Amino acid sequence: MSLRDALALKNVACVIGDFKCQIRRPSVADLAEAQEVLKNTPNNFTCWLVYNHLLEENGDKVFTSIEQVFQSDLQLVEMISLEIEKLYGEGGNSPTQQ
Domain span at residue 76 reads 3-88
Answer yes or no: are the C-beta atoms of 11 and 23 closer than 8 Å: yes
Which helix (H) or strand (E) segment holds residue 22: the answer is strand 19-23
60 is a domain residue: yes
The predicted pLDDT at position 23 comes to: 95
CATH number, residue 51: 3.30.2220.20
Distance CA 90, CA 73 (A): 27
What pLDDT digit, counting tens, does each position of 69-97 carry? 999 999 999 999 999 999 998 766 555 44
Is 90 exceeded by the pLDDT of residue 9? no
What pLDDT digit, counting tens, does each position of 45-72 carry? 999 999 999 998 888 999 999 999 999 9
Total structural domains in the chain? Answer: 1
The share of the chain scoring above pLDDT 90, in percent, equals 62
Answer yes or no: are the C-beta atoms of 63 and 49 closer than 8 Å: no
Angle between helices 74-88 and 45-53 (to 10 degrees): 80
